[in-house]
């Protein structure tokens, strides 16, 4: 119960407390409620900033915080294998349900910290954007804050059961946020979203139980939900305890489908266009900006480390799915006439890079690592892409929302000339769309190009196909920009409603654009935060795979990373 | 020059060029903000600021060039003799370059990527004598050192490389923003900033119509008539500044990844500038087309990058200090310090290129094997990177975007689409030259030859003054590519520089014409304009003569070079290379296409000039209203025409050519002959001409090209000057060919049919698959679930409930019927009990007899 424990707990539950606070405010004082909720999200954002720059130690590859006995030893003093075995001493925990050995265990490392920060940022900006919500503001704010709790919890939980709970906690508010505050087909979209995710959750639950009951040997110890310990078992670091390759593969497939739905990976993606299109603007921002990342994070935090053998067996499929998502999403985006739907499909395409980067794990025929540094690059690229996409897609959805709030339609063929009518809006929007396009100097480029560069080592053919996405991406984004922002005059209904950007809107748009530029120009700001953790990830995975295919020699670690 | 001087020179150059590079970026930001919110529509502040930035940039670049020259004691300009590359080194300079290496760099600082050391690398040209000097690769020094006193040494090439800051690091993979400064960089910087300065100043006049609150765009029709919009003067200049920043970044880039970054940035600036008139559909279409076709090329570029990255693990051009030792750059890895690739054929399989260090030692893996890349992959990487150049430099088959790009304001066409950005492809081929195998160079040569011919033929029939110049640009870029592809490294880049001057001049002159004629661009509406705008006409004529490559026959300068304007010299160098190449290898088209192109070039350029400026006016109204442009526009024309005429003064013995020659890769001067033992491995039997060989053919090639140019110019004079032959009649006689050419060889339709439409069809399919198949499946399952639950309900209601009800009913009925026996009379009950008991006992006795 140290300071960090409370810091993490506050990051997760401050929004919940805020929700309770909102509930106490009188229904009539809408502005007070909004301001209060905004203050809560801002405070959470500040806490996540404090976590990133004040608490988090980027030189330590493992999960933090460390137990006191580890602190004395220099952070770099452990090998990656040693770190992976410190599952009891890393993170903070307290008992939750002792009978099942369920813990309230939290922790962070270079993989989760950027995502926590992103969640804080997007939640805050989404709240600023929420002024456009007029209906049932109280309920909206309460659900919104609960949603933030769920998201933060997912990124900070280190107990699988806790993770699962937060995963579901996030689901319900989202269902109502889409179903009540959404567009015309909101109920359809909400149910589709809910069922899809629930389907994934159930698969995850099966895997969860499989891994849980497999996590005990002779029966004298309780099984565990501790993700770090489960990973150690999966990577063959605990003597006489291992998941067989078959178990790993089964569990991996179940987990992967669960997470892939969230990413979303083709062919599990069709909930996304509907959910994004029907959700109100701030919720679309959260969906695209944060929720999709939970899938990628789950793959990195759970599916891969616990099931290295399963992951390795599935890598080719994953890479192929990633590439298909990239190309298919881009093609589908090209065909849309609904502005928001086009942006939604662009998310499918961009998140394909995430999967591709995570999965370019190449081994030689003998199982030794082959070009681990390229996999490391792929994972870093994927992480960067998640953050970059969080910023650019949230920005793009916000930009769509801004114009939708004015003219109440989204037909790409009925816009035009907006840059003349709203120059500032047009400028910011084009900036953010180019960030999505992957223009150098903006955040989208770095993730995309590093992933693509890393993929040749895995499969030249798939790498070439993935690289061809740059043409299609340029195609659909430029075509949309042309139809919406360029041209002589606005062609749709309500031309009188087109007014310049409000200060609030300009703030959201400019903030996102500034982040897009900073990340695009100084990507090492982000890479330097996560490089140790991703290196740790790669080296333990390579060794873990070695160990798990040779159950007899449980700790035979062959590190061939550089 | 002592090491101290070398180091300070490096630092000075770095900072001068960095200032020149970053000033326009600063200008962009200030102009965007100032123009949008502070200065107002009538202010020219944006223009003044951007001119100030770029002129300061030019001053910095020029000082840098001077600094570099002084530091190297202008050794580049000293006569190396007719056979470049075999003269002796100045011992002092060589030794100093060595000592500079000897100064160990603090490893930590280098590793952190913010070194303030400029690292001079002395490349030892064309001398392979170092292999004996066994020196551990881990040493800090470059091993070119041991040969101090050895005679037969070429002057070492001084390159300054270093890192600005790191973008990312993955294990041993390291990506940074860095710089690479040699004479090519300096010449490009000076050229770009100088021409950009002229064009910026010109644009103050040309864009002055935008200084208004109510700009009427007559090309755009809205539902309320012509479009009226606020002027966008500042926006134009801010984009121009952003472009200059991107372009200079591209030239300064010290690694191929950084080139790619700025490659895309110049692309997007070009997109913004082509689409400057955002309201015009044609402009936004052209902008999209330019960007997307460039992306097609960049797709190839990306493939090249992937190969390079995966196999070399490095993007740096030059050698850099890293982790306490010198990390060889790509050029050293492929060619060591003598410019030669080391091939190797493993027992099983294809030829490989062995990686070398900067000291020519072989690189090995930890397990002792040689580090290599399969030869064919190096070819693929080269082709991929060249793919990017095809897009950027509008080469066949991606040439169609450039003519459309003329939708942008004319200063943009002059700066972006003739002098600088489109030449970036050529620049990159020149920069990346050591990585190209002779096979790649052959492809480059063919692409260049096809492009130059194709574009020249189209230029003959174009009637829009800017379109003629656009096709001419494509054609000239083809010449440059051809020159580089044939092994004439300096020739190709020489043409790049001269072309930048005369083509930007001609574009600006055409801009002046368009401005003077109130936005008439069609030449059939012009004629006789030289009387109205003499300065424009005669400066343009300088450009025309330069590009046509005319010279005064039989009169030479003391050095033996003919008296001619810049274009003659550079084109001559290319044609001479082509002739030599043909004599060595066959491939006759590579000589005859450029030769024919020389004639066609002269024809269409003089056609343009006669059409526009000579004869009688064709459209009285246009003529009457035409006027000479103000000095702010004509001034730059005069300045540029001076350089268009004389920048290549002295030809291959002149200043410019020698400056370029100093950066020539070590492999070039001596030529190349394919080693026969590798021909079975798929290598082509190619020879590249050496400097001596080209020199020997020079006069003949020059004469042939000159004859062609005179023939072309003469024909143009006959048809359009004195109108001795009626152009319309020719047109009718060859109407088929004419239509074909006007139709631009049908590329647009062809691409539309082959790529654009299918893409939309596939896109439609993907969307439909989502709707019909995935969602269809989903909805079907949902319906099935509903159906199942419906059955479930039916089952519950009819069968389960039915059963329950039936049971209930039965019970009830039985109860009812049993109620008959429930008489309430005691004796009946006693009797039932007795009978019951008897029955039980009877049963017990029956089943349990004992």
Residue of B nearest to A379 (CA): B170
What is the band of B1 on the pLDDT scale with cuts at 50, 70, 90? Answer: low
Contact B279 A487 (CB under 8 A): yes
pLDDT above 50: residue B165:
yes
A-chain residue closest to B231, CA distance: A420
Q: Tell me the mean pLDDT in the region B304-309.
A: 93
pLDDT at B314: 87
Hunting for tokens 């304007």 — which residue is that? B565
pLDDT at position B80: 54
Residue B120 banded pLDDT, cuts 50, 70, 90: very low
The per-residue pLDDT for B837 is 85
Q: Which of B171, B303, B764 sits opposite A562 (nearest CB)?
A: B171
Which residues make Cβ contacts (< 8 Å) with residue A197, sequence separation at least 6? A171, A261, A262, A271
Would the pLDDT of A520 be above 50?
A: yes
Segment B472-487, tens digit of pLDDT = 999 999 999 999 999 8
- pLDDT of amino acid B318: 87
pLDDT at A397 over 60: yes
Q: In angstroms, how far apart are the furthest CA atoms of chain B?
A: 156
B142 CB-near residues (< 8 Å, 6+ apart): B98, B101, B121, B122, B319, B326, B337, B358, B359
pLDDT of B130 over the 70 cut: no
pLDDT digits (tens, 9 = 90+) for A259-315: 999 988 988 888 898 899 899 999 999 999 999 999 999 999 999 999 998 898 899
| H/E run at residue A352 | helix A339-359
**Whole-number pLDDT of residue A525:** 92
Supply the pLDDT for residue A562.
33
Measured CA to CA in angstroms, residue B509 lies from B422, B547, B603 at distances of 19, 14, 19
Helices (H) and strands (E) in chain B, counts: 30, 14
From the list B85, B82, B118, the residue with the least C-alpha distance to B103 is: B118
Chain position carrying tokens 């809107």: A505
Taking the C-alpha atoms of residue A404 and residue A419, their distance in angstroms, rounded to an integer, is: 15
Say which range, A65-69, A350-354, A469-473, has the weakest mean pLDDT: A65-69
Chain B residues near residue A457 by CB distance under 8 angstroms? 310
- The separation between CA B554 and the C-alpha centre of its own chain, rounded to angstroms, equals 40
Q: How confident is the model at residue B142 (pLDDT cuts 50, 70, 90)?
A: very low
Identify all chain B residues contacting A446, using CB atoms and an 8 Å cutoff. Answer: 167-168
| A552 band by pLDDT with thresholds 50, 70 and 90 | very low
Residue B97 pLDDT level (bands cut at 50, 70, 90)? very low
With a cut of 80, say whether residue A338 has pLDDT above it. yes
Sign (positive/negative) of CA torsion B628, B630, B633, B637? Answer: positive
Per-residue pLDDT band at B79 (split at 50, 70, 90): low
Of B361 and B479, which is predicted with more confidence?
Answer: B479
Q: How far is the C-alpha of B590 from the C-alpha of B583, rounded, in Å?
A: 11
Question: CA-to-CA distance for A70 and A409, rounded, in angstroms?
Answer: 58
User: pLDDT tens, B443-472?
Assistant: 999 999 999 999 999 998 888 999 999 999
Mean pLDDT of B811-818: 83
* Calpha distance B785→B460 (Å, rounded): 70
- The H or E element spanning position B372 is strand B372-374
Average pLDDT score over residue span A20-34: 89
CA distance to partner chain B, nearest, from residue A560 (Å)? 12
Q: Considering only the beta carbons, identify the residue of A380, A463, A527 that sits closest to B306.
A: A463
Quote the pLDDT of residue B143: 32
pLDDT at B74 over 60: yes
3-state secondary structure of A121: helix
- For B533-549, b/e burial (b = at least 16 CB within 10 A) is bebbbebbbbbbbbbbb
Average pLDDT over residues A201-225: 83
pLDDT tens string B513-540: 988 888 888 888 888 888 888 899 999 9
Task: Give the pLDDT of residue B100.
Answer: 37
> Per-residue pLDDT for B117 more than 60?
no
Task: Say how far apart CA B75 and CA B3 lie, in whole Å.
Answer: 17
Candidate from A269, A455, A471 with C-beta closest to B299:
A471
Alpha-carbon distance B506 to B502, whole Å? 6
Instruction: Quote the pLDDT of residue B559.
Output: 67
A143 pLDDT band, cuts 50/70/90, is: very high
pLDDT band at B830 (very low <50, low <70, confident <90, very high): confident
Min Cα–Cα distance to chain A from B765, Å:
8
Which chain B residues are Cβ-neighbours of A516 within 8 angstroms? none
A374 touching chain B per CB within 8 A = yes
Asked whether the predicted pLDDT for residue B69 surpasses 60, the reply is yes
The reply to whether residue A471 touches residue B292, judged by beta carbons under 8 angstroms, is yes
Put simply, whether A444 touches B (Cβ < 8 Å) is: no
What confidence tens digit (pLDDT) does each residue in A233-258 have? 888 888 878 888 888 899 999 999 99
Average pLDDT in chain B: 83
A484 interfacial to chain B (CB closer than 8 Å): no
A494, A495, A496, A497: CA torsion to nearest 10: 60
> Looking at the predicted structure, is the pLDDT value of residue B126 above 50?
no
Determine the average pLDDT of the residues in B795-811.
85
pLDDT at B121: 47
Residue B281: list chain A partners with CB under 8 A. 487-488
**Cβ-nearest to B303 among A464, A479, A522:** A464
Q: How far is B175 from chain A (nearest CA, A)?
A: 10
pLDDT at res. B263: 93
Through-space distance between the first and last CA atoms of chain A, rounded to whole angstroms: 39
Minimal CA separation from B311 to chain A, in Å: 9
Contact B423, B438 (CB under 8 A): no
Q: Does the distance separating the beta carbons of B173 and A373 come in below 8 Å?
A: yes
Mean of all residue pLDDT scores within chain A = 88
Residue B136 has pLDDT above 60, yes or no: no
| CB pair distance less than 8 Å for B168 and A524 | yes
Q: How far is B292 from chain A (nearest CA, A)?
A: 6
SS3 assignment, position B359: coil
At residue B127, the pLDDT reads 39
Q: How does DSSP classify residue B74?
A: T
Residue A76, pLDDT score: 57
Q: Confidence band (pLDDT; 50, 70, 90) for A220? A: low
Owner of token pair 């580890």: A70
Name the burial class of residue B111, with classes exposed (0-12), middle (13-18) and buried (19+) by CB atoms within 10 angstroms of its CB.
middle
Other Cβ atoms less than 10 A from the Cβ of B521: the count is 17
pLDDT at B812: 85
Q: What pLDDT shows up at residue A75?
A: 54
The Cα A466–Cα A532 span in angstroms is 27
Please tell me the predicted confidence (pLDDT) of residue A362.
Answer: 87
Q: Is 70 exceeded by the pLDDT of residue B141?
A: no
Q: Which of B261, B296, B303 is closest, CB to CB, to A471? A: B296
Distance, C-alpha A516 to centroid of its chain: 17
* pLDDT attached to residue A26: 87
- Reference B564, options B647, B471, B677; nearest CA is B647
Q: How far apart are CA B187 and CA B182, in angstroms?
A: 9
Cis peptide before B419 (omega within 30 of 0): no
Mean of pLDDT values over B603-615: 89
SS (H, E, C) B9-55: HHHHHHHHHHHHHHHHHHHHHHHHHHHHHHCCCCCCHHHHHHHHHHH
Handedness of CA B331, B332, B334, B338 (dihedral sign): positive
In this predicted structure, what is the pLDDT of residue B379?
93
The DSSP secondary structure of B155-220, one letter per residue, reads PPEEEEEEEEEEEEEETTEEEEEEEEESHHHHHHHHHHHHHHHHHHHHHHHHGGGGSSS-EEEEEE
Least confident of B147-161, B205-219, B274-288: B147-161
pLDDT band at A59 (very low <50, low <70, confident <90, very high): confident
**Is residue B157 predicted with pLDDT exceeding 90?**
no
Chain B partners within 8 Å of A453 (Cβ): 305-306, 309-310
Which residue from B minimizes the CA distance to A189?
B775
pLDDT top residue among B665 and B81:
B665
pLDDT of the residue at A445:
92
């Amino acid at each position: 119960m140290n300071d960090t424990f409370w810091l993490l707990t506050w990051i997760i539950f401050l929004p919940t407390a805020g929700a309770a606070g909102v509930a106490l405010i009188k229904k009539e004082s809408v502005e007070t409620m909004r301001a209060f909720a905004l203050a809560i999200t801002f405070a959470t954002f500040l806490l996540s900033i404090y976590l990133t720059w004040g608490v988090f130690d980027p030189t330590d590859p493992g999960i933090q915080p460390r137990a006191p006995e580890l602190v004395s030893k220099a952070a770099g003093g452990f090998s990656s294998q040693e770190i992976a075995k410190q599952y009891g001493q890393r993170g903070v925990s307290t008992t939750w349900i002792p009978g099942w050995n369920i813990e309230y265990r939290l922790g962070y490392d270079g993989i989760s910290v950027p995502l926590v920060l992103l969640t804080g940022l997007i939640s805050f900006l989404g709240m600023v954007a929420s002024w456009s919500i007029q209906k049932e503001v109280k309920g909206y704010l309460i659900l919104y804050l609960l949603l933030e709790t769920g998201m933060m919890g997912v990124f900070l939980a280190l107990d699988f059961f806790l993770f699962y709970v937060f995963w579901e906690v996030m689901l319900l508010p989202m269902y109502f946020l889409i179903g009540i505050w959404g567009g015309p087909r909101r109920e359809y979209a909400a149910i589709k979203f809910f069922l899809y995710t629930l389907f994934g959750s159930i698969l995850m639950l099966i895997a969860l139980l499989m891994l849980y009951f497999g996590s005990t040997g002779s029966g004298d110890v309780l099984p565990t939900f501790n993700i770090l310990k489960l990973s150690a078992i999966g990577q063959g670091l605990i003597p006489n305890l291992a998941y067989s390759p078959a178990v790993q593969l089964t569990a991996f497939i179940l987990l992967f489908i669960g997470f892939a739905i969230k990413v979303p990976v083709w062919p599990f993606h069709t909930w996304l266009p509907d959910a994004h299109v029907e959700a109100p603007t701030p919720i679309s921002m959260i969906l695209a900006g944060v929720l999709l990342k939970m899938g990628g994070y789950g793959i990195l935090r759970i599916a891969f480390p616990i099931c290295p053998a399963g992951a390795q067996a599935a890598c080719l499929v994953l890479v192929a799915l990633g590439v298909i998502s990239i190309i298919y999403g881009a093609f589908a985006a090209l065909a849309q006439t609904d502005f928001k739907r086009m942006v939604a499909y662009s998310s499918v395409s961009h998140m394909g890079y995430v999967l591709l980067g995570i999965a370019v794990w190449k081994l030689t025929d003998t199982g030794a690592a082959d070009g681990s540094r390229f996999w490391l690059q792929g994972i870093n690229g994927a992480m960067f892409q998640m953050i970059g996409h969080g910023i650019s897609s949230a920005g793009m959805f916000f930009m769509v929302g801004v114009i939708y709030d004015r003219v109440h339609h989204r037909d790409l063929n009925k816009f035009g000339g907006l840059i003349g009518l709203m120059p500032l809006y047009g400028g910011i929007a084009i900036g953010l769309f180019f960030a999505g396009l992957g223009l150098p100097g903006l955040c989208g480029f770095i993730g995309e190009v590093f992933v693509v560069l890393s993929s040749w080592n895995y499969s030249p053919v798939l790498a070439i196909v993935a690289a061809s996405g740059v043409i299609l991406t340029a195609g659909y984004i430029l075509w949309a920009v042309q139809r919406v922002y360029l041209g002589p005059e606005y062609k749709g209904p309500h031309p009188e409603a087109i007014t310049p950007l409000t200060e609030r809107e300009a703030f959201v748009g400019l903030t996102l654009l500034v982040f897009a530029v900073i990340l695009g120009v100084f990507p090492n700001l982000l890479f330097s935060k996560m490089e140790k953790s991703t290196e740790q990830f790669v080296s333990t995975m390579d060794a873990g795979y070695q160990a798990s295919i040779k159950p007899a020699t449980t700790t035979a670690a062959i590190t061939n990373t550089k | 020059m002592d090491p101290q001087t070398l180091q300070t020179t490096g630092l000075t150059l770095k900072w001068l060029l960095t200032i020149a590079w970053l000033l326009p970026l600063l200008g962009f930001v200030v102009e965007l903000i100032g123009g949008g919110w502070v200065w107002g529509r009538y202010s020219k502040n944006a223009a003044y600021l951007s001119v100030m930035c770029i002129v300061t940039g030019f001053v910095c670049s020029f000082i840098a060039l001077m600094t570099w020259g002084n530091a190297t004691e202008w050794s580049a300009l000293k006569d190396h003799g007719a056979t470049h590359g075999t003269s002796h080194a100045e011992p002092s300079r060589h030794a100093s370059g060595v000592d500079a290496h000897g100064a160990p760099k603090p490893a930590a600082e280098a590793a952190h990527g913010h070194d303030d050391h400029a690292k001079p690398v002395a490349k030892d040209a064309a001398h392979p004598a170092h292999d004996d000097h066994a020196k551990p690769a881990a040493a800090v020094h470059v091993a070119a050192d041991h040969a101090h006193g050895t005679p037969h040494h070429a002057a070492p090439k001084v390159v300054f490389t270093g890192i600005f800051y790191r973008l990312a690091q993955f294990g041993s993979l390291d990506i940074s923003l860095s710089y690479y400064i040699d004479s090519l960089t300096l010449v490009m910087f000076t050229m770009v900033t100088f021409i950009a300065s002229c064009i910026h100043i010109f644009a103050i006049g040309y864009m002055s119509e935008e200084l208004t609150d109510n700009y009427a765009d007559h090309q755009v029709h809205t539902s309320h008539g012509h479009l009226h919009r606020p002027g966008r003067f500042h926006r134009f200049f801010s984009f121009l500044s952003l472009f200059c920043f991107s372009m200079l970044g591209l030239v300064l880039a010290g690694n191929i990844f950084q080139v790619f970054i700025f490659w895309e940035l110049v692309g997007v600036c070009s997109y913004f500038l082509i689409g400057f008139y955002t309201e015009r559909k044609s402009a936004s279409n052209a902008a999209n087309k330019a960007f997307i076709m460039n992306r097609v090329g960049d797709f190839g570029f990306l493939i090249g990058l992937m190969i390079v990255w995966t196999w070399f693990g490095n993007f740096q051009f030059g050698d850099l200090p890293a982790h306490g030792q010198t990390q060889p750059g790509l050029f050293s890895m492929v060619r060591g310090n003598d410019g030669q690739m080391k091939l190797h054929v493993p027992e099983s399989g294809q030829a490989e290129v062995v990686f070398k260090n900067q000291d020519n030692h072989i690189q090995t893996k930890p397990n002792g094997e040689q580090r290599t890349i399969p030869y064919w992959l190096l070819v693929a990487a080269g082709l991929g990177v060249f793919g990017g150049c095809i897009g950027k430099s509008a080469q066949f088959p991606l040439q169609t975007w450039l003519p459309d790009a003329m939708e942008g304001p004319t200063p943009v066409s002059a700066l972006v689409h003739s002098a600088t950005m489109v030449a970036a492809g050529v620049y990159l081929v020149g920069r990346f030259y050591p990585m190209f195998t002779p096979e790649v160079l052959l492809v480059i040569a063919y692409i260049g030859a096809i492009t130059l011919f194709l574009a020249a033929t189209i230029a003959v029939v174009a009637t829009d003054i800017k379109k003629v110049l656009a096709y001419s640009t494509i054609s000239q870029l083809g010449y440059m590519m051809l020159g580089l592809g044939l092994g004439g490294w300096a020739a190709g880049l020489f043409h790049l520089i001269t072309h930048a001057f005369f083509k930007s001049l001609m574009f600006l002159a055409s801009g002046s014409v368009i401005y003077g004629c109130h936005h008439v661009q069609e030449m059939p509406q012009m004629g006789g304009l030289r009387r109205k705008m003499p300065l424009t006409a005669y400066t343009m004529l300088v450009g025309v003569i330069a590009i046509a490559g005319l010279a005064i026959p039989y009169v030479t300068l003391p050095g033996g070079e003919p008296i001619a304007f810049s274009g003659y010299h550079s084109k001559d160098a290319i044609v001479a290379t082509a002739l030599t190449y043909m004599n060595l290898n066959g491939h006759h088209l590579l000589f005859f296409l450029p030769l024919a192109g020389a004639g066609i070039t002269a024809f269409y350029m003089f056609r343009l000039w006669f059409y526009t400026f000579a004869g009688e006016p064709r459209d009285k109204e246009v003529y009457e209203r035409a006027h000479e442009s103000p000095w702010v526009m004509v001034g730059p024309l005069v300045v540029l025409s001076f350089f268009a005429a004389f920048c290549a003064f002295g030809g291959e013995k002149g200043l410019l050519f020698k400056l370029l020659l100093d950066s020539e890769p070590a492999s070039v001067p001596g030529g190349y002959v394919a080693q026969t033992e590798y021909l079975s491995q798929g290598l082509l039997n190619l020879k590249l001409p050496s400097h001596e060989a080209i020199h020997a053919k020079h006069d003949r090639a020059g004469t042939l090209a000159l004859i062609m140019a005179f023939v072309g110019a003469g024909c143009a004079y006959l048809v359009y000057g004195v109108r001795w032959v009626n152009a319309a009649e020719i047109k009718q006689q060859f109407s088929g060919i004419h239509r074909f050419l006007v139709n631009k060889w049908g590329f647009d339709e062809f691409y539309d049919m082959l790529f654009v439409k299918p893409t939309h069809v596939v896109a439609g399919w993907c969307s439909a698959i989502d709707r019909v198949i995935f969602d269809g499946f989903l909805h079907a399952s949902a319906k099935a679930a509903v159906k199942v639950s419906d059955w479930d309900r039916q089952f519950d209601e009819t069968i389960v409930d039915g059963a329950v009800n039936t049971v209930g009913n039965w019970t009830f009925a039985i109860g009812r019927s049993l109620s008959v026996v429930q008489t309430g009379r005691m004796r009946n009950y006693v009797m039932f009990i007795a009978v019951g008991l008897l029955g039980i006992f009877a049963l017990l006795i029956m089943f349990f007899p004992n």
